[in-house]
Structure 1
Amino acid sequence: MKKTAASKKSAAADRASTTEEAPATEKAPAAKKSAAAKKAATAKKAPAKKASAKKAAPLKRQAPAKKPAVVPKKATAAVKGVAPAKTVAPKPPRGESRTALVRRARRINRELAEVYPYAHPELDFENPFQLVVATVLSAQTTDLRVNQTTPALFAKYPTPEDLAAAVPEEVEEILRPTGFFRAKTKSIIGLSKALTEDFGGEVPGRLEDLVKLPGVGRKTAFVVLGNAFGRPGITVDTHFQRLVRRWRWTEETDPDKIEAAVGALFPKSDWTDLSHHVIWHGRRICHARKPACGACPVAPLCPAYGEGETDPEKAKKLLKYEKGGFPGQRLKPPQAYLDAGGKPAPPLGAG
């Protein structure tokens, strides 16, 4: 009986222990469930991260869009570093019609006529023969140098016949100061022979005859026709070419085309004086490298104003005067061409 009671107690103890351990056994599945839940949550979050990564990807793709914002800054800096209007010639006024161009060109000529009322060829001559020879000699040198050389030449060879029979070496020695003296000697002896043999020792008064003479082109021919025979012509020398392009009268570069384009803007009767006005202005004020814009009487009409010195006092120092001045010039002080604000004033008689 005692054993039975003991066995009952041990059985009861076993049951109690079984009953107490049951919750621990039940907790294990719960832990497994919680771990599974965490994994599931992690699995759910993983796609979310991928999705967020996918959303972030466009931001990386948009990064190149920032580069255009940087490029203009660099471009602007480069533009700032470029020299101002001196390196780039200004364009003519937009929308300038043919009529407006003709009016502007003729106003420029009128202004220059007031500044240089007695403009004339700056080569000394007494007859057509001396003029054609002096013009040929003026290539690649100054008129002043030619005027210093021709008195001795014409004293020794006063007529075409005399020069045609001259000894080349003797003529070369006289012409040496003018430069290219051998080529010039050949030209003036050749044209003297042509005048003697083909034209009776007289300089012809027709363009087609003049251009046949050695060393004589259209420019020289028009100088002779306009100033020895009173026949209108346009002299397209280096000064003339530079100024008419700077004033945007034409964009042509060939002398013959420049002559035709400019001639169409003016009456034929103005051609000779126009040539003198433009050439005088190019030699004295509108220089090739440093035009004296601040002392220019046609500044208000010039599309290229600002290429040169605009300060009146500094521009005044750029004016070129030959020894003894240049007769017939009525050059006003630089301030006369500026208004109270220091800007170019309207030209006289401007409408």
Structure 2
Amino acid sequence: MPTINTSFLKALFFKALGQGIALALGATLSVGAFAQDGALAREYPELARLNNAFDVTQAALYDAMAEINASPETMQARMETQMELDMMKNMDSMAHMGHGGGEMDMSMDGPYGELEIQSRVRLTGLLRRDHSDETAENAYSEAKSLPTHAWRVLAWGRKFERDLLNIYADSSTSFSEKRAAVADAIEAYQTGDARHAVSTVAKSVELYLDHDYATGAKSAFPRLSSLMWTNQWLQLAALEAMVVGQLDPQFAGKVPVTIERYWSKVGSDTGMTMFPVPVDMPSVPAIAPSLYSEAPQAAVIIDNLNMLDAAVADIIAYPNLENRDELLEAAADEFTKDDSNVSDEMTYLLSALRGGIFNQGGPAIGDLGRSERNRSREAMDMIHTMIMSGPQ
């Protein structure tokens, strides 16, 4: 099983991304677990509200795609979309999209037209509303489109992500205490419901990029998949802002900046915006490199969960599948395995960074006005400096 070399990854990330943040932190102390429950709501109430809304919206997004796929009104569009997707599967140019490939221009004009637009409006409305903790925790279990094993894996993963947000939101604890709390959270995640915990080893990116139904969501539901990735972007960007702000005081207080950027990316209720939105799944190494450096195993769990989210969306979005529940259960099961379809650390990093920061929604802090891919080293050094030191 691949192991994570933290020292190597720190050196690689801070060189590759130009962070330039000195980690003048003392050695990790052995401390007991401590309670951070409520820290997110206490320190960042708007982010806590959105975090609940993300769960409710994601479950509703799955159901919206399933309902459109089941509607007699979309039969002709589904047949045409299926033909196009089946043809695309056999094209060499589709073998490495997203993290593995080149630039993409994701059109917002999907095959289902007004039906997708109406769904996008409803989902954006859910994001703007308040949802109780109980409603958020039950969202996946109540999704009609998710079979039991799939929703349990997703829901258990979201519990872990909420715990992680509470740990890093707590301004009263030191980084040594946070590291201990993260280690405890990972152990609780792995042992509390081992059957439904995704692997702590990076899973192969092909599990969501190159499976039989890959790009189903992006092709059939571009507005909805864009919203899904934008929500994922904020989850990572906010964590990065918390970590960086506590490492270096000059970057403190940037969580509200990430929330403002998020709403700019969301745009109108129909999804129209002048701001760059993710055209690929945001990954921790690209959007939250400081989080990866501090908690690489937790970061891998998050990326595995986000890849599973994308794979589930693709399967639900793919038209005319007769064994959809079976495929969803198999996908969820694969992500819980430690001994198959796993990546070593270098492959994982290259896969996460190859698509570029801009294509994954842009940096959490600083500015990046256009894609950094295929740029000269000199130009990228300038951009990296601006990302970390530009005024907000």
- Name the TM-score, length of structure 2 as normaliser: 0.25
Larger relative contact order (Cα-Cα within 8 Å, sequence gap ≥ 6): 2
Structure label with greater radius of gyration: 1
- Name the TM-score, length of structure 1 as normaliser: 0.27
